[in-house]
Structure 1
Amino acid sequence: MLGVFSGSIVSPPDELVAAGSRTPSPKITATALVNRFLQTHSSAVSMQIGDDAQLAYTHQNESVIQPRSFAVKDDIFCLFEGALDNLGSLKQQYGLAKSANEVVLMIEAYKALRDRAPYPPNHVVGHLEGNFAFIVYDKSTSTLFVATDQQAKVPLYWGITADGWVAFADDADLLKGACGKSLASFPQGCFFSTAFGELRSYENPKSKVTAVPATEEEIWGAKFMVEGSAVLAATK
C-alpha cells in the first residue's frame, strides 16, 4: 500500500530531511512514485484525493492472514493491512455490524477520536490487538493519522520524495528508489497524527520519540526510538 501527502497536509520529518541532505541520493517526485507503483502492480487501484493526497494499493502478493483493504466513508479514506485479534469486541464497542471488517472499524475509531475530544489517540490505537499498519486521511479536515502494531509485524516505511511530499508504504524498496536516504522504518507501537503534530508512542505516551542518524552504509536515513526504551522503535 502507498500514501503520498503534500506539505500542506504534513510537514516532512526534520530528521529525514537532514538525512537526505547529509547523503544525497537519487529521488523522484510523488507523482512519479505513484506511477511506478501502478506500473509495477498491474492490478493496483489508486485514488487522487484533491490536490494534496493520493492513495494506492494492490492485493498482489498480499498475505492471506494479513490482507490489505480500503474503504471510504464521510470523506475519511483508510488503507489497512493486517488483522485484529479483538475485532469482534471492537465492533461491539463501536456499534458496528457483524459484517464490518478492520478497515471499516478503523474509520469509525478515527471518527470517535475526532468527534469526542479530548479522546486520547493512544487509547484508540492501544486497544487494537493484532498485526496491523494503517493510513487514515480525513479530507474534510486535511488530517492524517498513521500507526503500526506494537511489534511492527506489518512493516511500514516513510520517506520524502524529490518534491517534498511525505510518502508511506509497506514496501521499503519502493520508497528507497523514490526517497533516497530520506527514508526510515515507521516506528513500532507508535502513531503519527497531524492533529497532534508529532510522532508519539501509544505504548508509552509520556515518552518522547527521537531519531538517531543512521550510518552511511545503511539504507535508512534515521532510526526512530522511544526514549527510555532499550529497544529501537523500528523494524530491523
Structure 2
Amino acid sequence: MLAVFENSIGKPPEELRLPSTYSQTSKTREEIARKFQSSWPESTFYNFSNGNCMALSHENETPLHPRSIVVMDDVFSIFIGNLENICDLRRHYGLCRLTTEAMLVIEMYKVLRDRAPYPSDQVIKDFVGKFAFILFDAKYGTLFAARDRDGSVHFQLGMSADGSLVCSDDPNIISEACGRSSAVFPPGCFFKNGNGLVSFDHPFNKVRAVAHEDDDGHISVIIFKVDLYTRIPSIPRTGSSANWADTAMIGE
C-alpha cells in the first residue's frame, strides 16, 4: 500500500520534522512513486494531479491480511485486512452481501458525506477486526486513513523531502521515502487532512508525539500516543452536508 499527497492535501504532523535534520534519504513525491513502481512493477497505480498518487501491490499478500483497492465515483479506497463484523455493517448501511471492506468504506463515506454528517469517531469505532485503510475523494480533496485498535496491520506515515504525507505498509518504502521523519501509525487512530491524528476511542484526548533520542542525543524515533490526561475542550463541527471533508466520517 502506498499513498503520497502534497502538503496542501495531506499535511503531515509537524512533529515529523524534528528528526529531519539528521535524515539524508527522504525523497520527493515523484521519486517515491518511481521507487514503489520499480519495487512492485505489477502494482495497481493511480496518479493524481501534482504528483499525488495511491498504489497497491498483491505480492506477498496473506489470507489474514488481504489487500484490495476500489474506485467508485472518484473515491479511491485501499483496504488491508478484514472486518469481523462486516455483515452487521452491510445491514446497517443497506449494502448487499457482496460488498467488500474497501467498498464498504466508500459507501459509508458517501452516505455520511451526503446525508448524515456524523463525527468520524462514532463510525470508525464500530469497526471490529484487523485493518488499515486509506480513502481519497478526488472531487473534494478529502484524505482519510485509519488503523485498528491493536495495530494488527503494519502501517506507517512519514514526511518526504518536499513536505508531503507518505503512508504505507511497507517499512522499506517509508524508510527510503522519509528517512527518520516517519513514525508508526498509532493504533486506534485516524488521520484527516486538516486535523491530523485523532483517536476514535478517545476523540476528546490529544494524540501527542513522544520523541526518543539516540546515544548522540539526536531524535531518532517519533512515537504517537493518546494522552489520556489531556482533553480537548470541544470538537468544532460544520453544518455543510455537501462537504464531508469538514463533517461526517472524518470528524473534527
Tell me whether the two structures share a fold, i.e. TM-score over 0.5: yes
Which residue of 2 is the match for residue 78 of structure 1? 77
Instruction: State the one-letter code of the partner of 2:119.
Output: P
Instruction: State the one-letter code of the partner of 1:66.
Output: H
State which of 200, 203, 207 in structure 2 corresponds to 1:202.
200
User: Contact 1:4–1:53 at 8 Å: present in 2 too?
Assistant: yes
Deviation at 1:219, TM superposition (A): 9.5
Which residue of 2 is the match for residue 54 of structure 1? 53
Which residue of 1 is the match for residue 37 of structure 2? 38
Rounded to whole Å, the distance in 1 between the matches of 2:35 and 2:146 is 24
- After TM superposition, the structure 1 = structure 2 runs for residues 162-173 of structure 1, keeping only pairs within 5 Å, are 162-173=161-172
Counterpart check, 1:132 vs 2:131: yes
Rounded to whole Å, the distance in 1 between the matches of 2:207 and 2:116 is 23
Instruction: State the one-letter code of the partner of 1:212.
Output: V
Rounded to whole Å, the distance in 2 between the matches of 1:53 and 1:186 is 20
Give a deviation string over 1:38-59, Cα, whole Å, max 9, x none: 1111311110123352001110
Counterpart check, 1:63 vs 2:56: no
User: Contact 1:9–1:52 at 8 Å: present in 2 too?
Assistant: no
Quote the sequence identity (%).
Answer: 37
SS in 1 for 2:175: helix
Rounded to whole Å, the distance in 2 between the matches of 1:12 and 1:49 is 18
User: Contact 1:138–1:144 at 8 Å: present in 2 too?
Assistant: yes
Unaligned runs of 5+ in 1: 230-236
Deviation at 1:100, TM superposition (A): 0.9
Which residue of 2 is the match for residue 146 of structure 1? 145
Deviation at 1:117, TM superposition (A): 4.9
Instruction: State the one-letter code of the partner of 2:196.
Output: E
User: Contact 1:148–1:189 at 8 Å: present in 2 too?
Assistant: yes
Counterpart check, 1:99 vs 2:98: yes
Rounded to whole Å, the distance in 1 between the matches of 2:125 and 2:51 is 29
- With 25-34 and 212-221 compared, the bigger mean Cα shift is at 212-221
Instruction: State the one-letter code of the partner of 2:211.
Output: P
Give a deviation string over 1:101-153, Cα, whole Å, max 9, x none: 10000001122332245401001111111000000001111010100000010
Which residue of 1 is the match for residue 189 of structure 2? 190
Rounded to whole Å, the distance in 1 between the matches of 2:87 and 2:220 is 37
User: Contact 1:184–1:220 at 8 Å: present in 2 too?
Assistant: no
Q: TM-score, normalised by structure 2?
A: 0.85
Unaligned runs of 5+ in 2: 230-252
Rounded to whole Å, the distance in 2 between the matches of 1:11 and 1:200 is 14
User: Contact 1:183–1:220 at 8 Å: present in 2 too?
Assistant: no
Deviation at 1:11, TM superposition (A): 1.7
Give a deviation string over 1:16-69, Cα, whole Å, max 9, x none: 012213x23222212111111111113111101233520011100011121110
Which residue of 2 is the match for residue 16 of structure 1? 16
Give a deviation string over 1:189-209, Cα, whole Å, max 9, x none: 000112x61211001111110
User: Contact 1:3–1:54 at 8 Å: present in 2 too?
Assistant: yes
The verdict on how the C-alpha distance between 1:43 and 1:220 changes in structure 2, with shifts beyond 3 A counting, is farther
The verdict on how the C-alpha distance between 1:113 and 1:17 changes in structure 2, with shifts beyond 3 A counting, is farther
Task: Give the superposed CA RMSD.
Answer: 1.8
Q: TM-score, normalised by structure 1?
A: 0.91
Aligned pairs, how many? 227
Rounded to whole Å, the distance in 2 between the matches of 1:27 and 1:226 is 27
Which residue of 2 is the match for residue 215 of structure 1? 213
